[in-house]
């Protein structure tokens, strides 16, 4: 079990590991140099996600030391997260073809769902959960474009999941511990990733965080501890910005997997000349708007889809107004 003390130690370890990576990144060829599609203006070390991955795996080992065995969920969490983190690191360093990334994402996600799905889970449910995980980790990667936003989102989502489970009296040791690990490594990393960032998490970090968050959510839904509606609401800011932007680019015939600067958060960062203000805006929407509605969807579960519409509906025109999917 990951308690508060363990979470704090994992967060400190992540911060120290990220500090170390700022010194090592140049020697490893992990430096993000600005280009026409970048939201930053100076070369910045990347690959800081490695610190999060290592700290998270230490957290899994902590759980293992007390439980004496790893459940299928923890195997999926550790092996799948590490695999996608290493895949992201390879992409950061060498660049990988989009088709190769997609095949590997699908393979790891399918294996993870197979491990965590209860006996008797239908093939359609497995397919939907696999697609959800792949979509979630890619949207998370797309949204990791300005200082602090991805780590802050992961921190919020993990804490929000703990709140939802507690309010619904559905807490479970595995899910709680996994959410605390995600919150710890995200909180530790955001300290050094806050604007102006000293290091980026890179695809290693965004792939890892996107995967483990989605895996925890899928596991909680399949176990009947969370509703799909509450998960969608908690993911609202990234989900809406990501999907609206993808649809806008697809409608123009653009290759949606190519790096770009047409997300709402990217337009706002240029308009306001501030990464911190945009990240605070997204976190404000999370805390003031989405979290209360997600909690309401747990309390009034029969009206779950109504709360989804209420939560996400207003965000769609706001994302379009901010510029999501618009040509830069």
Q: Where residue 166 falls among pLDDT bands split at 50, 70, 90?
A: very high
Residue where one domain finishes, among candidates 194, 226, 258:
226
Q: Kindly state whether residues 167 and 102 are assigned to the same domain.
A: yes
The per-residue pLDDT for range 266-277, each reduced to its tens digit, is 999 999 999 999
How many Å apart are CA 68 and CA 5, to the nearest integer?
Answer: 20
Per-residue pLDDT for 36 more than 60?
no
User: Residue 295's CB: how many other CB atoms inside 10 A?
Assistant: 20
- The angle at the Cα of 169, spanning 164 to 171, to the nearest 5 degrees, equals 75
Q: Where residue 157 falls among pLDDT bands split at 50, 70, 90?
A: very high
Q: What is the pLDDT of residue 39?
A: 65
Q: Average pLDDT in the 302-309 region?
A: 97
Per-residue pLDDT for 93 more than 90?
no
Q: Where residue 254 falls among pLDDT bands split at 50, 70, 90?
A: confident
Q: Kindly state whether residues 182 and 238 are assigned to the same domain.
A: no
Q: What is the pLDDT of residue 33?
A: 80
What is the average pLDDT score of the chain? Answer: 93
Residue where one domain finishes, among candidates 178, 205, 226:
226
User: Residue 90's CB: how many other CB atoms inside 10 A?
Assistant: 16
The per-residue pLDDT for range 62-84, each reduced to its tens digit, is 999 887 778 999 999 999 999 99
Q: Kindly state whether residues 312 and 322 are assigned to the same domain.
A: yes
Count of the separate structural domains present in the chain? 2
Q: What is the pLDDT of residue 37?
A: 61
286 occurs within a structural domain: yes
Q: Kindly state whether residues 247 and 167 are assigned to the same domain.
A: no
Q: Which residue has the higher pLDDT, 244 or 325?
A: 244
**What's the DSSP call for residue 223?**
T
35 occurs within a structural domain: no
Q: What is the pLDDT of residue 67?
A: 75
Residue among 248, 227, 321 at smallest CA distance from 281: 321
Residues in the chain: 328
**Based on the number of CB atoms within 10 Å of its own CB, is 121 exposed (0-12), middle (13-18) or buried (19 or more)?**
middle
User: Residue 204's CB: how many other CB atoms inside 10 A?
Assistant: 28
Q: Kindly state whether residues 97 and 216 are assigned to the same domain.
A: yes
Q: Kindly state whether residues 199 and 247 are assigned to the same domain.
A: no
Q: Kindly state whether residues 216 and 271 are assigned to the same domain.
A: no
Q: What is the pLDDT of residue 32?
A: 81
Q: Average pLDDT in the 311-319 region?
A: 97
Q: Where residue 327 falls among pLDDT bands split at 50, 70, 90?
A: confident
Q: What is the pLDDT of residue 121?
A: 93
Residue where one domain finishes, among candidates 226, 245, 278:
226
Q: What is the pLDDT of residue 43?
A: 85
Q: What is the pLDDT of residue 65?
A: 86
Domain containing residue 308 = 227-328
**What's the DSSP call for residue 172?**
-
Q: At what angle do helices 304-312 and 315-322 cross, to 10 degrees?
A: 20
Q: Kindly state whether residues 216 and 232 are assigned to the same domain.
A: no
Per-residue pLDDT for 283 more than 70?
yes
Q: Where residue 256 falls among pLDDT bands split at 50, 70, 90?
A: confident
Whether 241 contacts 251, CB under 8 Å: no
DSSP H or E stretch at residue 45:
strand 44-45
Q: Kindly state whether residues 213 and 308 are assigned to the same domain.
A: no
Q: Kindly state whether residues 16 and 156 are assigned to the same domain.
A: yes
Provide the whole-model pTM. Answer: 0.95
Interacting residues of 269 by C-beta distance below 8 A, sequence separation 6+: 39, 146, 275, 278
Displacement of CA 300 from its chain's centroid (Å): 27
Q: Kindly state whether residues 106 and 58 are assigned to the same domain.
A: yes
Q: Kindly state whether residues 132 and 149 are assigned to the same domain.
A: yes
Residue among 318, 86, 71, 73 at smallest CA distance from 215: 73
How many Å apart are CA 327 and CA 306, to the nearest integer?
Answer: 33
**Based on the number of CB atoms within 10 Å of its own CB, is 308 exposed (0-12), middle (13-18) or buried (19 or more)?**
buried
Whether 164 contacts 234, CB under 8 Å: yes
């Amino acid at each position: 079990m990951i308690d508060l003390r363990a979470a704090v130690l994992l967060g400190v370890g992540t911060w120290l590991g990220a500090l170390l990576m700022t010194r090592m990144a140049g020697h490893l060829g992990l430096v993000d140099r600005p280009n026409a599609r970048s939201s930053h203006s100076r070369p910045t070390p990347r690959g800081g996600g490695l610190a999060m991955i290592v700290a998270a795996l230490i957290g899994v080992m902590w759980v293992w030391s007390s439980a004496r065995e790893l459940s299928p969920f923890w195997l999926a969490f550790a092996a799948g997260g590490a695999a996608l983190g290493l895949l992201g690191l390879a992409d950061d360093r060498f660049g990988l073809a989009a088709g190769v990334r997609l095949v590997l994402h699908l393979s790891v996600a399918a294996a993870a769902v197979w491990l965590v799905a209860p006996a008797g889970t239908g093939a359609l449910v497995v397919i939907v959960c696999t697609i959800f995980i792949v979509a979630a980790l890619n949207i998370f990667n797309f949204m990791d474009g300005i200082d602090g936003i991805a780590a802050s989102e992961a921190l919020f989502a993990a804490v929000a999941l703990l709140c939802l489970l507690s309010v619904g009296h559905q807490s479970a040791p595995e899910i709680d511990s996994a959410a605390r690990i995600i919150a710890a490594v995200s909180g530790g990393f955001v300290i050094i990733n806050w604007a102006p960032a000293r290091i980026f998490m890179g695809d290693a970090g965004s792939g890892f965080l996107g995967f483990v968050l989605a895996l925890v959510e899928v596991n909680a839904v399949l176990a009947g501890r969370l509703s799909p509606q509450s998960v969608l609401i908690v993911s609202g800011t990234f989900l809406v910005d990501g999907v609206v932007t993808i649809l806008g680019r697809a409608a123009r015939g653009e290759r949606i997997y190519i790096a770009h600067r047409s997300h709402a958060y990217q337009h706002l960062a240029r308009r306001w000349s501030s990464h911190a203000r945009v990240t605070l805006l997204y976190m404000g929407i999370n805390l003031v708007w989405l979290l209360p509605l997600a909690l309401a969807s747990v309390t009034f579960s029969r009206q779950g889809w109504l709360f989804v519409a209420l939560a996400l509906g207003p965000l769609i025109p706001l994302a379009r107004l901010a510029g999501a999917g618009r040509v830069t």
